[in-house]
Structures are given as structure tokens and as C-alpha cells.
Chains A and B, each alone.
Chain A
Amino acid sequence: MNIRELLLPELITLDLKARRREEALQELAALLASAGVVTDREAYLQAVRDREALGSTAVGFGIAIPHARSRAVRRAAVAFGRSVQGIDWEGQGGEPVRAVFLLAAPEGADDLHLRALAHLARMLMHEEVRQKLLSASGPDEVLEALG
């Protein structure tokens, strides 16, 4: 399965307004909800918050990958948001997060989708991918960066 089937252009924003984690999650969840990916936005967000509570999903390099599997998700998808001024992810003024991937997987997600998400996660570990993401000037270039 191609990443383009998960990360649709309408799920990409290159100008996140959020300055804090909660706002960023809200903003991206709204994209997922309006695309019909998420049926119950609040239930899904709660699952994402629960995952954050287990340990921050900011993984360094200015990237965060909040994620959850939830009944409130209709199909697997990814929303991407880039922040120009940076987001204070853990509220402790650590390294600001500039790129956020919000992953959504339905409760009974099939392996195909989960593998695609896994593949995306692996891609982000590569410096050149991250550079392209941070310098992309439109949804097309974001998708291109991810192959």
C-alpha cells in the first residue's frame, strides 16, 4: 500500500497555528474529522492523549508522531502538519516540534494499513526525508518526500 493512500492532500497543512501540543492535536484531528476518517473526534483525541500520557511521541529531530488505534476511526489515515514557529510539545520548552504526523488506525485495522504506517515511521528516521519534509512548499512535495 502506498503512503499516498493514507496521507491525502487534504490531510496536509503546512501552516499549523498551534503553539502547544493539545492545540496541534485538535487542529490535525479536525482535518481527519472533516475528511470523514474519524467519526467521533473527541473519542479519538482521548485515545491519542492516553497514548501521549504513556510517553511523549516527540521523537527528536523536531518530529512528533502522535497516534492511536480507536473505534472512532473509520479507516487508516495520516494527517501531517508543519509548524513554522515550532510547537512546545511537552510544555517544558524542550526542542520545538516542527513536523507532526497524526496517525489514525481503526480498532480492527488490517495489516496492510499498519504496515504502511510502520513504513512511514521508518522513513522518518532518515535525515534526507526529514529535510525534504521541512522544506516542502506544498502537499505535493510532502508526498514526494515520502516516496
Chain B
Amino acid sequence: MAKKLVAVTACPTGIAHTYMAAEALQKAAEARGVTIKVETQGSVGVENRLTEEEIRSAHAVIIAADATVDKSRFAGKPIIEASTGEAIRDAARLIDQALQARAPDLVEQVAAVKAERKARAPGWYRHLMTGVSYMIPFTVAGGILIAISFMFGINAFQTEGTLPAHLMTIGGEGAFGFMVPILAGFIAYSIADRPGLAPGMIAGFLAAKVGAGFLGGIVGGFLAGYLVYYLNRAIQLPRTLEGMKPVLLLPLLGVGITGLLMIYVLNQPMAAAMNGLQNWLKGLTGGSAVLLGLLLGAMMAFDMGGPVNKAAYTFATGLLASQVYEPMAAVMAAGMTPPLGMFLATLLAPRKYTEEEREAGKAAAVLGLSFITEGAIPFAAADPFRVIPAIMVGSAVTGALSMAFGCELMVPHGGIWVLPMGNVVTHLGLYALAIAVGTVITALVVNVLKPVKE
């Protein structure tokens, strides 16, 4: 069967280039004996709109645009991107590229979705995620080293001068001690660049000192970041003194003002909020613990690495700094089941999946074991109304079970690969059971919802 292509052309004014590029692509395709349909996003609006069916049966997608074109409907398709100018001058080359293109495999698709999400994220969210991502290594190292210390006996670290005591110093005081300052510091760094780092870290340090935990750190980081950002713009010095700004004025004012605001204004309410949260979480038993697990679990699956998922994840990771470990366990388990469940689903009912999907399922299994929830995205993008409810149900059950079993997890990432280490997770057997049950439920629900492919 001859290969079919689809294309989209667009440019800022949409008067000329959109259409010239479209015409050039059509001509070049004709010369190759290839069928192409070109959607133009020009001044008269979208014309020749591509249907879902056309996109599905197309071998590849060409996007020739000088304006932003939404790529979400092309998930899983090889995409050739070019400017309208390139399409006008050299449409034949684009057509050839498109004909030779192969579909991105699952790992590439996941990376592409992540990059696109990052680019689209609003500023405050990006700042928060920058802070979280710099915090993660501290959390991982701290969690694992503390767990190793516990392997010598749960109270072994209390004997001074012993290896378990040193490990506890490194992991607990060292790595965990830096979590909140690093979180706050890099939120501020993301907002205000280098001048934000010192005020942000000190704000986080002050928050941690009074027990305001990650909530105080987040507030402090944003405070420091925006304060320094505006100070930097407001302060205008004569050229000769300009050099004093980054080395003297911004650090002094930034740290001074942020620090005093933290101590006099923010620390107390944030510490109270954090205490309240901690007490509530520690007091959670039975039904309410299960409810929290259901909620966190469903959030993890809802957008697979998107803002809702990251809200649940940030919440759980932040709590590690306050020695609350159950939500972390629930969140990681629930984040593993969507790709694992999709993998199992492709095994149980191969006729409901395309060959590519069955192949992608194998990669998804590895991503799931590694707690990369995004591994389920290609499945969800292809069939959101069946896949997303199914993985939410599975993740919610897993989250609830993990909470009900009282599982505690001391590290924020790593998936199955960190579990064999003693004491990283409590109730290992039950934890594995929670993940397995959610995986099976995900697979069963999605396969009930999905029709057989003709």
C-alpha cells in the first residue's frame, strides 16, 4: 500500500507562507506519487482540517510552521518539523524524510512529552519543579544511607563513633538537613537566577529550623526569588558602581529582608500549618488513611507526570523532610502501576492492541518498574477515555492498600530497584502485593473498556 502523509502549515500572519508551503508540499508529494493532505492554519482559520482517521492512517506528519502548532493529536507519529521557508524551497526533501521516518519508540515518545510539558508549564510551576528536582538527590542519598544505618539495628546509630552513627550523620543531618534549604534555594534560583540562591537557601534553612518543613521552604523560596528578582530590576546604579550590585547589594538586601520576613512573619504560621499537617497525617488510621491513599494514587495516574501527579509527588517527597514516610510509599507504588498495568493488559488481551502497542508494552514494563509513570502516556494519548480511568482506578487501589498496610518509604524515587535494600521500605511483601494488585486491576479494567481491534 502506498504511504500516506499528512501535514500542517502555519505562519504568523497567515496570508502567504502558510499556503505556499502547503502547495509546495502537495506538489512534491504528487511528484513522488504519494498521497498527502495538508491542513492550513492561516488567516481564514483552519482549512482542510485533518481528521483523526487521516492522522491515524498516515505514515508520518510534516509540520511546516513559523508559529506554534499543537502536536498533541500526533502522539505516536513520526513528526518532521520545518519552517515554512524550508517547505517552500525544499518540499521534496521533507517528503523524503517523512517517507523514511519511523515512529518514535516508547522511550522517545515519553521524552518528547516531558520536554513539551516542560516548555508549556507556567512559570511558578517550573520554579517549583526546579526546586524539587535539585532536592531529589539529597533525598535519595539521605533515605538510602539512613536505611543502611538501620540495617545494623534500628537503634544502632545511637552508639557514637560507630559506622551506623556516621551513616546517620551523613544521611540524616547532612543530606536530609539540606533538603528544605535546597528546595527553597533552587526555587529562588529558578526565579531570580544566581542572586536568588543565597536568600532562597537561607529562607529554607530558617523554615527547616522551626519545623516549617517543605511548606515553609516553598513559601520561603518563592518569597526570596521574587524579592530578589524585583530588587534586581528596581536598583539602578551608575555604571561605575554596577559591579557592587551582585556582590554586595543583592546578597545583603535579599538575605536580610527575606530572613527577617521569614522570622517575623512567615515562620510561625508555616510551622503551625506543617505541624497540623504532620499530626493529621500521623493520626490517620483506617478509613481516612485509605482515603488519602486513594486520593494520592488517583492523582498520580490522572496526568502521569503532569501537574496533578507532581502535586501529589511533591507533597509526599516534601514530607520526607519531616520524617513522614507513608505517603511517599503510596505515591511511588501508585506511580508504578499505570505503565505496569498497561504492559499486563497487552499480554492478557493482545487482540485489543496494535502491534506497536504490544511492543511499547514491554518498554512500559521497565519504565513502570523504575517508577516512570509517563510510560503510560502513549497508551493514554491514543485512547484517553478508556485508559485514564482504568489507570486511575488501579493506582488509587494501590495507593489505598499501601496506606492501609502502613508501608513507609524513605526514598523518593528508584522504583523496584531500591526496594531490595533492607529498611528502605517497611512491609516489603505487602508493598509488593499492593503494587501487584493495582497492576492487575488496571489491566483488567482497561481491557474490559477496550474493544477488540478489527
* A118 and B42 contact, Cβ closer than 8 Å, known pairs A59-B85, A126-B27: yes
Answer yes or no: B43 CB below 8 A from chain A CBs. yes
Report A27-60 CB contacts with B as 1/0, cut-off 8 Å. Answer: 0000000000000000000000001001111011
Answer yes or no: B15 CB below 8 A from chain A CBs. yes
* A117 and B15 contact, Cβ closer than 8 Å, known pairs A122-B22, A122-B23, A125-B27: yes
Report B83-94 CB contacts with A as 1/0, cut-off 8 Å. Answer: 101001100000
Answer yes or no: A145 CB below 8 A from chain B CBs. no
**In the bound complex, CA of A111 to CA of B45 (Å):** 9
B88 and chain A: residue at smallest CB distance: A59
Contact size class for B? 20 to 34
Answer yes or no: A68 CB below 8 A from chain B CBs. yes
Answer yes or no: B16 CB below 8 A from chain A CBs. yes
**Would you call B23 and A121 a contact (CB within 8 A)?**
yes
**Would you call A51 and B13 a contact (CB within 8 A)?**
yes
**Would you call B16 and A121 a contact (CB within 8 A)?**
yes
Within 8 A of A (CB), among B1-42: 12-13, 15-20, 22-24, 27, 40, 42
Answer yes or no: A146 CB below 8 A from chain B CBs. no
**Pick from A67, A103, A125: contact of B23, CB under 8 Å:** A125
* A59 and B89 contact, Cβ closer than 8 Å, known pairs A121-B15, A121-B19: yes
**Would you call B19 and A55 a contact (CB within 8 A)?**
no
Contacts of B24 in A (CB 8 A): 125
**Would you call B66 and A55 a contact (CB within 8 A)?**
yes
CB of B89, distance to nearest CB on chain A (Å): 4
Answer yes or no: B248 CB below 8 A from chain A CBs. no
Contacts of B43 in A (CB 8 A): 69, 105, 109, 114, 117-118
Contact size class for A? 20 to 34
Answer yes or no: A143 CB below 8 A from chain B CBs. no
**Would you call A115 and B44 a contact (CB within 8 A)?**
yes
**In the bound complex, CA of A56 to CA of B18 (Å):** 14
Report A66-83 CB contacts with B as 1/0, cut-off 8 Å. Answer: 011100000000000000
B27 and chain A: residue at smallest CB distance: A125
* A105 and B15 contact, Cβ closer than 8 Å, known pairs A59-B89, A125-B88: yes
CB of A87, distance to nearest CB on chain B (Å): 17
Within 8 A of B (CB), among A6-38: none
CB of A55, distance to nearest CB on chain B (Å): 6
* A60 and B88 contact, Cβ closer than 8 Å, known pairs A69-B43, A118-B42: yes
Of the listed residues B17, B22, B83, the one surrounded by the most CB atoms of chain A closer than 10 A to its CB is B17
Contacts of A103 in B (CB 8 A): 15-16
Of the listed residues B16, B19, B88, the one surrounded by the most CB atoms of chain A closer than 10 A to its CB is B16
**In the bound complex, CA of A121 to CA of B17 (Å):** 7
Report A107-120 CB contacts with B as 1/0, cut-off 8 Å. Answer: 00101001101110
Contacts of A3 in B (CB 8 A): none
30 contacts between A and B (CB under 8 A): A54-B66, A59-B85, A59-B89, A60-B85, A60-B88, A65-B17, A67-B13, A67-B15, A68-B13, A69-B15, A101-B16, A103-B16, A111-B44, A114-B15, A114-B42, A114-B44, A115-B44, A117-B15, A118-B15, A118-B18, A118-B43, A118-B44, A121-B16, A121-B19, A121-B20, A121-B23, A122-B22, A122-B23, A124-B20, A125-B23
Known: A65-B20, A103-B16, A121-B19. 10 other contacts (CB 8 A): A59-B85, A69-B43, A103-B15, A105-B43, A111-B44, A117-B16, A118-B16, A121-B17, A121-B18, A122-B19
Q: What residues make up the interface of B, taking CB atoms closer than 8 Å to A?
A: 12-13, 15-20, 22-24, 27, 40, 42-44, 66, 83, 85, 88-89
